[in-house]
């Protein structure tokens, strides 16, 4: 692909606007986001990633307030995404694009993605002919590049890229713990994208924060190789060392996280052989602790009739599985469920499972959480 592929010149850290800092009333802390945007731009980074659904529109509005209103349009790249549900109509599609445009006032989107393409919604993307719709937007100059974010098997990705060879790029879940996993298939999906000569945007390099909070044993291993580097930096540098990337998205929630990311991505140094071997050892240890591979995307929550905070419960369950600290994790569980249903309120309707990009057996896992925390 050489240096001439789409996105070759884009710096390899992208600001994911999914988990922005919040005020006590849970609205986005725009002043804090502005500081983060300023630090990011000042360090030479330019890629911002939002979506129609993030924060019910609050993320696109935050992009306007903190970025679009404050920086020249040509000084950054903005990406947003178009979702579909089984009740979506062609009119909804058009309205969602227009709403994204209205919220952001960006004039055009540099990267426009069909959001979270997977086996459960591909028929809806096809039925609504979203493929042609976004190509049309591109012809009109309203978007510059059209692609999709993908959450399924490498085989499905191969079929899609064969059927739609005109897409400009793909966005994939890649991280070191899923590199060889059979569920997420990071490596296989990466190889398929490379085979089709599609540049790649990486999402969830730290697996929704899971690779930032590792056991003492793994943390000591990393610190022994390089005491200066943070634990999440290993995960981000692992993916940033791959070829053919447009950028690596990191969903940053604080200035502190932003500054940590900038500290090692500003003068990026690919992993050394010793660092790769250390990660391989960590993967080996982690693979022997079975945890729920929830990325905290929250796609499961909106339609849950009991409003159960599924990712919050899984976080407590995972920590309990690893550390067995029942009092600490019970507090986390209570905090996570204080505004909605608890695990034992699950009606087993299964709606959440149709939205889960990780194909988790949510009902079964909630039963396990209930037996740990609801007694
Ligand atoms: S199965 Fe349980 S958690 Fe899932 S949507 Fe239904 S009630 Fe909510
Ligand atoms: S359970 Fe699935 S849909 Fe829900 S937050 Fe976790 S990964 Fe996302």
Nearest CA to ligand 1 atom 8: 304
Residue 319 confidence (pLDDT) above 90 = no
pLDDT of residue 214: 81
Nearest CA to ligand 2 atom 3: 356
Task: Tell me whether residue 115 is in a domain.
Answer: yes
Q: Where are the alpha helices (DSSP H) in the chain?
A: 30-42, 58-63, 90-104, 122-127, 130-139, 154-163, 186-195, 216-225, 231-240, 255-265, 273-287, 310-323, 326-336, 351-355, 362-373
Residue 206 confidence (pLDDT) above 50 = yes
Lowest mean pLDDT across 30-34, 83-87, 141-145, 205-209: 205-209
> Of 286, 302, 325, which closes a domain?
286
Task: Tell me whether residue 19 is in a domain.
Answer: yes
- Could you report the per-residue pLDDT of 123-144, keeping only the tens digit for each? 999 999 999 999 999 999 999 9
Task: Tell me whether residue 361 is in a domain.
Answer: yes
- Could you report the per-residue pLDDT of 13-33, keeping only the tens digit for each? 999 999 999 999 989 999 999
Q: Do 198 and 253 share a structural domain?
A: yes
- Ligand 1 centre to CA of 152 (Å) is 22
Q: Do 318 and 279 share a structural domain?
A: no
Q: How far apart are CA 266 and CA 322, in angstroms?
A: 33
Nearest CA to ligand 2 atom 7: 294
Q: Do 334 and 227 share a structural domain?
A: no
pTM attached to this predicted model: 0.81
- Ligand 1 centre to CA of 339 (Å) is 15
Q: Do 250 and 358 share a structural domain?
A: no
Q: Cβ(310) to ligand 2 under 6 A?
A: yes
Q: Cβ(315) to ligand 2 under 6 A?
A: no
- The number of distinct structural domains making up the chain is 2
Q: Cβ(304) to ligand 2 under 6 A?
A: no
Q: Cβ(355) to ligand 2 under 6 A?
A: yes
Mutate to test the pocket of ligand 2, among 53, 207, 298 (most ligand atoms within 8 A of CB): 298
Q: Do 340 and 225 share a structural domain?
A: no
Mean pLDDT across the chain, nearest whole number? 95
For the chain, percent of residues with pLDDT exceeding 90: 89
Confidence of residue 182 (pLDDT cuts 50, 70, 90): confident
Buried b (16+ CB within 10 A) or exposed e, 25-64: eeebbbebbbbbbbbbbebebbbbbbbbbbbebbbbbbbb
pLDDT of residue 1: 44
Residues with a CB atom less than 6 Å from ligand 1? 304-306, 308, 310, 346-352, 362-363, 366
Find the ligand nearest to 355 CA: 2
User: Residue 197 is part of a domain; what is its CATH number?
Assistant: 3.20.20.100
Q: Do 212 and 145 share a structural domain?
A: yes
Task: Tell me whether residue 369 is in a domain.
Answer: yes
Q: Do 314 and 192 share a structural domain?
A: no
Q: Do 98 and 208 share a structural domain?
A: yes
Residue 322 confidence (pLDDT) above 80 = no
Residue 321 confidence (pLDDT) above 90 = no
Cβ 112 vs Cβ 137: under 8 Å: yes
Task: Tell me whether residue 302 is in a domain.
Answer: no
Task: Tell me whether residue 6 is in a domain.
Answer: no
Find the ligand nearest to 307 CA: 1
Structural domain containing residue 327:
310-373
Residue 235 confidence (pLDDT) above 90 = yes
Residue 2 confidence (pLDDT) above 80 = no
Q: Do 236 and 202 share a structural domain?
A: yes
Residue 224 confidence (pLDDT) above 70 = yes
* Polymer length in residues for the chain: 375
Q: Do 182 and 249 share a structural domain?
A: yes
- Ligand 1 centre to CA of 238 (Å) is 35
Task: Kindly give, in sequence order, each residue whose CB lies less than 8 Å from that of residue 228, ignoring residues fewer than 6 positions away.
Answer: none
Q: Do 147 and 99 share a structural domain?
A: yes
Q: Do 225 and 364 share a structural domain?
A: no
Q: Which sign does the torsion angle of CA 333, 334, 339, 340 carry?
A: positive
Task: Tell me whether residue 241 is in a domain.
Answer: yes
Task: Tell me whether residue 8 is in a domain.
Answer: no
- Ligand 2 centre to CA of 302 (Å) is 11
């Amino acid at each position: 692909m050489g240096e001439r592929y789409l996105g070759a010149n884009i710096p390899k850290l992208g600001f994911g606007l999914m988990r922005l800092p919040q005020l006590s009333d849970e609205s986005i802390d725009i002043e804090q986001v502005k500081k983060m945007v300023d630090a990011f731009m000042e360090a030479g980074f330019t890629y911002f990633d939002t979506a129609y659904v993030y924060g019910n529109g609050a993320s696109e509005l935050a992009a306007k307030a903190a970025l679009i209103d404050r920086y020249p349009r040509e000084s950054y790249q903005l990406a947003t995404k178009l979702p579909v549900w089984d009740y979506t109509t062609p009119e909804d599609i058009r309205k969602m694009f227009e709403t994204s445009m209205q919220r952001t006032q960006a004039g055009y989107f540099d990267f426009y993605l069909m959001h979270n393409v997977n086996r459960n919604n591909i028929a809806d993307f096809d039925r609504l002919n979203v493929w042609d719709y976004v190509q049309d937007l591109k012809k009109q100059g309203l978007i510059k590049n059209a692609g999709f974010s993908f959450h399924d098997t490498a085989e499905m990705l191969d079929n899609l890229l064969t059927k739609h060879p005109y897409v400009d790029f793909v966005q994939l879940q890649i991280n070191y713990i899923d590199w060889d996993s059979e569920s997420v298939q990071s490596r296989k999906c990466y190889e398929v994208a490379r085979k089709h000569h599609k540049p790649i945007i990486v999402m969830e390099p730290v697996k929704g924060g899971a690779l930032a909070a590792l056991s003492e044993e793994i943390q000591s291993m990393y610190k022994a190789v390089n005491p200066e580097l943070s634990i999440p930096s290993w995960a981000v540098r692992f993916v940033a060392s791959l070829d053919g990337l447009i950028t690596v998205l990191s969903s940053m929630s604080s200035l502190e996280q932003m500054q940590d990311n900038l500290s090692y991505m500003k003068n990026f140094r690919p992993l050394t052989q010793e660092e790769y071997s250390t990660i391989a050892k960590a993967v080996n240890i982690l693979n022997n602790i079975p945890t729920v591979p929830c990325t905290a995307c929250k796609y499961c929550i909106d339609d849950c009739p009991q409003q159960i905070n599924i990712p919050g419960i899984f976080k407590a369950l995972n920590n309990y599985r690893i550390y067995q600290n029942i009092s600490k994790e019970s507090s986390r569980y209570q905090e996570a469920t204080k505004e909605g249903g608890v695990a034992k309120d699950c009606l087993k309707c299964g709606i959440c499972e149709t939205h889960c990009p990780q194909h988790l057996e949510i009902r079964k896992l909630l039963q396990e959480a209930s037996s740990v925390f609801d007694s």
